[in-house]
Structure 1
Amino acid sequence: MTSSGNPLAIDQSIAFWDARHQKLAHTYAGGDISYDDTANAMLNALRVGRLIDLIGTFSRPAAPLRILDGGCGTGWLTRELASFGHQVDGIDTSAQALATCRAQARPDGRDRYAQSRLDAWAPSYLYDVVVSVDVLFHIMEDDVWAASVRNLGMLVRSRGRLVIADHDLDADHHWGDYQVSRARHRYVDLLAPDGFVHSAFVPYAFRENHAGLHVFDRTS
């Protein structure tokens, strides 16, 4: 699918996703719209496994990792990552989604939530790992997308890891008015000046979904 020429501006995108979170079940709202809830639950479980495989090499039982889930939606991934003993912040622009997050928050306090855009989040600390799953390709405005990628990178500590979900393409591809995948080199060009190297692309390899996880390690 290509854009009709009316891609959503950032304020329209925020409103779109808030309305979608009000309308749909949380696994469906946070997954692939072409799948039913069962298939999305399968996809989400697969993605948790992929992420824990990438993140787990950093963890020590005596020192839980500090993780950011950038664009957490209703918090399904935030809570899953926290279940492995990590301390996880979830941020999102949707007040509706965050209400669900807080209602379903873990009793141990390992998942915390705040309302923020990706390009505006500025905590007083850095993260061991920053993840952003199925969010950046929904930011249609290039300047907001670039500012979001750069800000997420700046939140990663030295020797930390940034994991971004997108397709692995040589050129940008518009899927519609609310989704565009950027070419791999565009991520690399933004992040390399801050000491990141592209370590891997890990595909979901689930049915016809060709997206996956770009893995960047901060070397300095």
Structure 2
Amino acid sequence: MTELTSAITDYWDAAARAFDDEPDHGLRAEHTRAAWDRLLRAWAPAAPADILDLGCGTGSLSELLAAAGHRVTGVDLAPRMIEQARAKLADAGLAGHFLVGDAAAPPTGGERFDMLLCRHLAWTLPDPHAALREWVARLRPNGRLVLVEGRWGEPGQAAPPYVAGAETLPWSGGVSAADLASAVRPLVTGLHIEPLSDDPHLWGGPVSDERYALIAHTQRADQCVPTSRDIDHR
């Protein structure tokens, strides 16, 4: 483990205690919980599916997915986050499988998933491009990649690094929809962007920075070669 990775782990481990106090983390307000539940149901397959939630934190999105009938595996670098995620689903009477590990290289062996979800994770990674390749490889044919990301802080202002050394990360302070789409597009057969900044229910109040979801699909089993028919709605 590098010094920076260790610092990042320690940061999120220490943040676990108060993590759910943030409206979009704990989803304690009914309107915030309902807003995320509505999005997840739109993004996830209609039938029960195997879903990998990377950087799952305390498991709030995993809980919503499990409540919708999906089989959820969560991965997070911070052991205390995973402890809370396990407890959260157990308290709700829901099944979920949670692992401590590097979300950039999930410790799930050869298992493949119908959908891979990350929220506010890519910007924390030392090599996000390698992680994206790894994530797409974990999906089954016609799998779904759902990345909820953004650029943090006021427009035109760089957000300060949250741990010493984080300013050296490729996407420190967040990643724009255009840049993330450019990185993902060669790996998938189609993608689109859904802006999320204009829905205050998702965040517990109005936000002025860029927030969005990128939804992409891997090739179908009957496709012999990748296609170039990707769709990018901005």
TM-score range, shorter chain: 0.7 to 0.9
Is 2:8 the counterpart of 1:9? no
Matched residue, 1:130: 116
- The correspondence of residues 175-190 of structure 1 with structure 2, limited to 5 A, is 175-178=159-162, 179-190=172-183
1:147 aligns with 2:130: yes
Letter in structure 2 aligned against 1:137: W
Change (3 A) 1:122 1:194: farther
Give, in angstroms, the shift of residue 48 of structure 1: 2.6
Q: Measure how far apart 1:12 and its partner are.
A: 1.4
CA contact (8 A) 2:19 2:58 kept: no
Q: TM-score, structure 1 length as denominator?
A: 0.76
Could you tell me which amino acid in structure 2 is paired with residue 11 of structure 1? Answer: S
Q: Is the 8 A contact 1:161 1:218 kept in 2?
A: yes
Among candidates 196, 205, 209, match of residue 203 of structure 1: 196
Does residue 77 of structure 2 align to residue 93 of structure 1? yes
Secondary structure of residue in 1 paired with 2:117: strand
Q: Are the aligned partners of 2:19 and 2:25 in contact in 1 as well (CA < 8 Å)? A: no
TM-score computed with the length of structure 2 as normaliser: 0.72
Alpha-carbon spacing, 1:9–1:192, altered in 2? closer, same or farther (3 Å): same
Say which SS state the counterpart of residue 150 (structure 1) adopts.
Answer: helix
The corresponding residue for 1:28 is 22
State the number of aligned residues: 198
**1:123-171 Cα distance to aligned partner (Å, 9 max, x none):** 22211111101222233x3x2x2222222222121111111011279xx
Question: Which runs of 5 or more structure 1 residues have no equivalent in the other structure?
Answer: 1-7
Tell me the alpha carbon deviations over residues 79-131 of structure 1, each in whole angstroms, 9 at most, x when there is no partner: 11100000000110111111112223347663110011112214222111111
Shift in Å at residue 45 of structure 1?
A: 3.6
Q: Which has the higher strand share?
A: 1
Q: Deviations over 1:41-90 (max 9, x none)?
A: 644542232121121xx222xxx200011111111111111000000001
Looking at structure 1, the residues matched to 180 and 19 of structure 2 have their Cα atoms a distance apart, in angstroms, of: 31
Q: Which moved more, 1:175-184 or 1:46-55?
A: 175-184
Q: Give the equivalent residue in structure 2 for 1:111.
A: 96
User: Which stretch of structure 1 is more off in the superposition, 210-219 or 158-167?
Assistant: 210-219
The residue number in structure 1 matching 2:64 is 80
**Contact 1:98–1:115 at 8 Å: present in 2 too?**
yes
- 83-92 or 185-194, larger mean C-alpha shift: 185-194
Cα RMSD (Å) of the superposition? 3.0
Alpha-carbon contact 1:70-1:92 (below 8 Å) kept: yes
Partner residue, 1:59: 46
CA distance in 2, matches of 1:15, 1:189: 31
Q: 1:160 & 1:109 partners in 2: Cα distance? A: 24
Question: What do the CA deviations read for 1:168-194 (whole angstroms, capped 9, x no partner)?
Answer: 79xx98422035222334333433333
